[in-house]
Amino acid sequence: MSADSDRDLLAAVAAGDRRALRALYDRHAPWLTLRLQRRCGDPDRVDDAVQDTFLAVWRGAARWDGTGEVGAWIWGIGIRRLIDSLRRQGPREPLPASSAVAPSAEEAVLEGVEYGDLAGTLNRLSPELRAVVQATILDDLTTKEAGRLLGIPAGTVKTRMLRARAQMREELLS
């Protein structure tokens, strides 16, 4: 494992060093692939998005503004490429919201110990509500982008977010 930081690698990519791009790819493509895979069930589409992402990194490395983590920047490109690709496909069936498995009763008890009730509350949200929480909070998408990713109108994203918030609040306060 080379000791270069992500920032050094990105600077080298901006200077046209293809080996630096390869190093960045080896570091970031695996988790990016897995994370996008959890948001889109079509592996070919995910691979295309990963490919587009690193092409964008290659062509746009010089435009990185230097704030924040390189990994977060790459994620921002990747999820938007995936959304673009989903949007080109046109209207579609909403995906079954993530493949997350419901935790066993034993795990649910352990969770309460590990994190307080927050994790349990999150896991008890219905899949549609969880998908919206994930897209807007964790993936840092706008309402519109989240709607495109999940295949639902932006207005639905907003109402589901309100319902998720209300449900979590009620559970945490009761």
Partner 1 sequence: MSVHLEHEWLERYARGELDQARSFSVEAHLPACEPCRAAIAGLVDAGRLSRTWDAIDLAIDAPVPGPVERLLRRAGVPEPTARLLALTPSLRPSWLLAVAVVLAFGAVAADWRGETGLMAFLLVAPLLPLAGVAVAYGPHVDPAHEVAVAAPAGTLRVLLLRTVAVVVATTTLAAVAAATLPGFEWTAAAWLVPSLGLTLAALGLATSTGAAAACAVVAATWVCAVLAAWRVGDDPLTAFGSFGQLACLLAALAGAALVIARRDTFETRSQA
Q: Is residue 148 within 8 Å of 87, Cβ to Cβ?
A: yes
Q: Which two tokens stand for residue 139?
A: 């993936």
Q: What angle do CA 107, 109, 112 make, to 5 degrees?
A: 110
CA–CA distances in Å: residue 64 to residues 30, 77, 143, 147, 174 = 21, 11, 24, 27, 45
* The one segment of 87-95, 102-110, 143-151, 159-167 that binds partner 1 by CB under 8 A: 102-110
Q: Is residue 13 within 8 Å of 58, Cβ to Cβ?
A: yes
User: In terms of CB distance, is 98 or 153 closer to partner 1?
Assistant: 98
CA–CA distances in Å: residue 120 to residues 45, 110, 171 = 32, 9, 10
Position 138 contacts partner 1 (CB under 8 A): yes
User: How many chain residues bind partner 1 (CB under 8 A)?
Assistant: 46
Position 89 contacts partner 1 (CB under 8 A): no
Position 51 contacts partner 1 (CB under 8 A): yes
Candidate list 84, 107, 128, 171; residue touching partner 1; CB under 8 A: 107
Candidate list 8, 84, 95, 123; residue touching partner 1; CB under 8 A: 123
**Residues of this chain that bind partner 1 (CB under 8 A):** 1, 18, 21-22, 25-31, 33-35, 37-38, 43, 47, 50-51, 54-55, 58, 69, 71-72, 74-75, 98-103, 107, 111, 115, 118-120, 122-123, 125, 130, 134, 138
